[in-house]
């Protein structure tokens, strides 16, 4: 029984290590000045600051939601210090009358 436990522990440890490496890689890429510009573009194009809904076109709405999900996933993975992007998102939402 202890061999199974050790094996599972090693698998979980490896998964966690891979995830940490991925997070670090995202932080390095999007933490630079150019990376911040690209991240801002991804957030804008990814419907993070505007509605994904397209009246009368549920397929486009679904496609837009997928883009939004990916943009939010990238932001979450990059989770370095993105206070500027968060401030920008909050400002754009407030300009649209959405209080957070």
Q: Are 85 and 39 in contact (CB under 8 A)?
A: yes
DSSP 57: -
Express each pLDDT in 12-64 by its tens digit. 888 888 888 888 899 889 888 899 889 989 999 999 888 999 999 999 999 99
- State the pTM of this model: 0.67
Cα angle, residue 25 at apex, residues 71 and 44 outer, rounded to 5°: 20
- Mean pLDDT within 54-81: 90
How confident is the model at residue 38, as a pLDDT?
Answer: 92
How confident is the model at residue 56, as a pLDDT?
Answer: 97
How confident is the model at residue 85, as a pLDDT?
Answer: 66
Count how many residues are written for the chain: 100
How confident is the model at residue 4, as a pLDDT?
Answer: 79
């Amino acid at each position: 029984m202890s061999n199974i436990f050790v094996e599972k522990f090693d698998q979980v440890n490896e998964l966690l290590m891979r995830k940490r490496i991925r997070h670090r890689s995202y932080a390095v890429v999007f933490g630079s000045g150019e990376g911040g510009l690209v991240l801002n573009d991804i957030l804008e194009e990814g419907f993070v600051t505007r509605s994904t809904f397209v009246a009368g076109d549920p397929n486009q709405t679904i496609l837009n939601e997928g883009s939004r999900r990916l943009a939010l996933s990238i932001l979450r993975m990059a989770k370095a210090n993105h206070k500027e992007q968060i401030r920008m998102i909050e400002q754009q939402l407030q300009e649209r009358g959405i209080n957070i």
